[in-house]
A and B are shown apart, each in its own frame.
Chain A
Amino acid sequence: MVQNLFYFLSFLAVLSALMVILSKNPIHSVLYLILTFFTLSGHYILLNAQFLSIVNLIVYAGAIMVLFLFTIMFLNLKDDSFTGSRLFFHLGSGLVVFTLAGLIILKVATAPIAVADDAHFDSQIGMVENLGKVLYSKFLVPFELVSVLFLSAMVGAVMLGRREKGEKNF
């Protein structure tokens, strides 16, 4: 059952990743990328990492991709915006992609397959509960200081984004 799910998710992930680069319309690309993130989150759940999976959905599929979508819609990209030699572009990018892919495949195919270390294996390590315990004990100070980071980012966003007297907005 889990194995079939894995194959299904992997198939979907590869397919939607391919569609990201094959679709002509940039908005379709973004939508396929969101689908890719969903399938990857599914993989994380299969790997027993629920927290990572949820964060992946919220941050990437939720926040960042919506930002992408907005940017693309605002910029109103056109198909003919690319100027320059098409042949050179295709040859160059093809060369880079195939070299990189070849290297990775070669490396993966020849690498020894890692086996889980049963003695040190802890199935609960990626759970929200354990993560919270570590965050609120060992890493309490950095965790609290991150709030300073977010506060200053928030203050800055309001300060820079606020409309001043006599300022024109679009």
Chain B
Amino acid sequence: MLTITFLSLLGLVLLFLGFAGKVGLVKNLAALGVLASLGILLFANQDALVPAGMETQLLFDANSLKFSALILGFSVCIVMMSRSLVKKENVQAAEFLSVMIFSLVGALMLTAFTHMITLFVGLEILGISLYILAGTLKDSPSSNEAALKYLLMGAFATCLVLFGMAMLYGATGSLDFKEIAAVGNQSVDSVLFKLGIFFLLIGVLFKVSAAPFHFWSPDVYEGSPSIVMLYMSVVVKIASFAALFRIFGGYFHHLSYFWWGIVYYGCIASLLVGNLLALVQKSIKRQLAFSSISHTGYLLFAILVVNNEAIAGGLVFYLFAYGSALLVAFSVMNSWFESSENYQLDQLKGAAKADPVGATVLALSFLSMAGIPLTGGFFAKISMFAPAMGDGLYHLLIVGIVSSVIGAAYYFKPIMNVWFSTEEATIENATDMKWVAMVGGLVILITGLFPDTLTSILAMI
């Protein structure tokens, strides 16, 4: 609650500073403020300002603190990286950053809701802010297209969620997840209850871009500015998975009779669709969008396994490994192609000759996304596969392993282009802030070599 209040006020302050024309201050204050909110999240009592006896419909338990800490930690980096975007012409720094910070309010709500109303308001705050962020580059038609497409598809998903909520309310007479889950035990035969769970699940699967509800994501990811794409595939993915896990790995976990099959086939479809379609892409952003769909598939393993208490740590580990790999890759590519927003695979050719450090770090991050041993991604995949093995989900495991192999094929394409091409480099400039990229690469290696350090750090939160 305290962090959410702080972030809302921070967004307001940034708006007023932007109105006063202090753009330089806005950029610094945004990064500092998000960092401060991370501190508040970790070290302050979230209910400090809430009067005794007042209901807030929000509850920051251990899991939500972990997810929120990941969200805020990655957001600090993304806000710092967005400097290259907000200095462009026709991009309003203060508005962009404050909308991004408002969207964090929604993201944190999605990790901590206990009630339908907070889930819905959180989804909407996050959603509406993202439609705006996707359209930040007003003079680029593809950015406008991305914003409109995202708005239409997002509104459709919201309708499904809302429809499901109405059904659940009709079946149980309550909007509180605990009460619904308690009533759900007795309503095995209720059509309303089944429909409610079904639509709620479909709506949330839309938001995490699981196949077959993924059609919006490649276009939206490709058209948005690359910082916004990074934000969507890291922060938004964490937030929507936190919500999915809170509902179906938590409140409705014992009702798996209703929803298990849908998630199971959604998981298989996401793995296959994401990995196979990523093979044929020419644009890096599009390739990463399809790879993001396949990672949704791996993450859905966490919803499917029986022991939901144990898998939470694995889910956080996976999201951390995936997010940090993507963050590092984008920090390198952002400085390589500063003026363009559409990265093609061919543009990477020979880049290692011009910038060996950046090329090494980039290769490391792609290896981590592919799940090659010695990188964080390998242990992330293990942490998803091992519990599924324990549950005896062998068909799912086979699909997962086969698609990881397919995945390795397309993750090697950019690495080959960077390192083993004889052509001259076409990149604009070498990685600025080399130490940031190097620290990122080091983090990927450390999580790969000593995964226990990360697990124990996460356990302390």
- B121 in the interface, Cβ–Cβ < 8 Å? yes
Q: What 11 new A-B contacts, CB under 8 Å, besides A152-B11, A156-B99?
A: A141-B55, A141-B57, A141-B118, A142-B115, A142-B118, A148-B8, A156-B128, A156-B131, A160-B132, A160-B147, A167-B139
Given contacts A139-B57, A140-B54, contact A152 B121 (CB under 8 A): no
Are A164 and B90 closer than 8 Å at their CB atoms? yes
Are A151 and B102 closer than 8 Å at their CB atoms? yes
Are A159 and B121 closer than 8 Å at their CB atoms? no
Selected from B118, B129, B138, the residue in CB contact (under 8 A) with A160 is: B138
Interfacial residues of chain A within 136-154, with CB under 8 A of chain B in the complex: 137-142, 145-146, 148-149, 151-153
Selected from A148, A153, A156, the residue in CB contact (under 8 A) with B105 is: A148
* Nearest CB of chain B from residue A127's CB, rounded to whole Å: 20
- B388 in the interface, Cβ–Cβ < 8 Å? no
Q: How far is the CA of A153 from the CA of B1 in the complex (A)?
A: 22
Given contacts A141-B1, A159-B99, contact A152 B55 (CB under 8 A): no
* Nearest CB of chain A from residue B84's CB, rounded to whole Å: 19
Q: Which residues of A contact B (CB under 8 A)?
A: 137-142, 145-146, 148-149, 151-153, 155-156, 158-160, 162, 164-165, 167
Given contacts A148-B11, A164-B138, contact A156 B118 (CB under 8 A): no
Given contacts A152-B99, A164-B138, contact A142 B132 (CB under 8 A): no
* Nearest CB of chain A from residue B80's CB, rounded to whole Å: 21
- B56 in the interface, Cβ–Cβ < 8 Å? yes
Are A159 and B11 closer than 8 Å at their CB atoms? no
Q: How far is the CA of A166 from the CA of B133 in the complex (A)?
A: 22
Chain B 1-18: CB-based contact to A (< 8 A → 1; otherwise 0): 100100010011001000
Q: How far is the CA of A142 from the CA of B175 in the complex (A)?
A: 13
Selected from A137, A138, A140, A152, the residue in CB contact (under 8 A) with B132 is: A152
Are A152 and B57 closer than 8 Å at their CB atoms? no
Are B15 and A145 closer than 8 Å at their CB atoms? no
Residue of B nearest to A160 (CB): B135
Given contacts A145-B4, A159-B132, A160-B138, contact A152 B92 (CB under 8 A): no
Which residues on the A side are within 8 Å of B1 (C-beta)?
141
Are A145 and B92 closer than 8 Å at their CB atoms? no
Are A148 and B125 closer than 8 Å at their CB atoms? yes
Interfacial residues of chain B within 183-239, with CB under 8 A of chain A in the complex: none
* Nearest CB of chain B from residue A142's CB, rounded to whole Å: 5
* Nearest CB of chain B from residue A107's CB, rounded to whole Å: 12
Which residues on the B side are within 8 Å of A152 (C-beta)?
11, 98-99, 102-103, 125, 128-129, 132
Are B98 and A155 closer than 8 Å at their CB atoms? yes
Decide if the interface of chain A is mainly helix, strand, loop or mixed: helix
Q: How far is the CA of A155 from the CA of B98 in the complex (A)?
A: 9
- B346 in the interface, Cβ–Cβ < 8 Å? no
- B325 in the interface, Cβ–Cβ < 8 Å? no
Selected from B4, B89, B117, B128, the residue in CB contact (under 8 A) with A149 is: B128
* Nearest CB of chain B from residue A58's CB, rounded to whole Å: 20
- B328 in the interface, Cβ–Cβ < 8 Å? no
Residue of B nearest to A139 (CB): B117
Pairs across A and B, CB under 8 Å, 22 listed: A138-B55, A141-B57, A141-B118, A142-B118, A146-B121, A148-B8, A148-B102, A148-B106, A149-B106, A149-B124, A149-B125, A151-B12, A152-B99, A155-B95, A155-B132, A156-B131, A159-B99, A160-B135, A160-B138, A162-B92, A164-B90, A165-B90
- B58 in the interface, Cβ–Cβ < 8 Å? yes
- B327 in the interface, Cβ–Cβ < 8 Å? no
Are B125 and A145 closer than 8 Å at their CB atoms? yes
Residue of A nearest to B91 (CB): A159
* Nearest CB of chain B from residue A6's CB, rounded to whole Å: 24
- B109 in the interface, Cβ–Cβ < 8 Å? yes
* Nearest CB of chain B from residue A46's CB, rounded to whole Å: 22
Which residues on the B side are within 8 Å of A164 (C-beta)?
89-90, 138-139
Q: Which of A139, A141, A158, A164 has most chain B Cβ within 10 Å?
A: A141
Residue of B nearest to A157 (CB): B132
Which residues on the B side are within 8 Å of A155 (C-beta)?
15, 95, 98-99, 102, 132
Selected from B11, B15, B95, B128, the residue in CB contact (under 8 A) with A153 is: B128
* Nearest CB of chain B from residue A138's CB, rounded to whole Å: 6
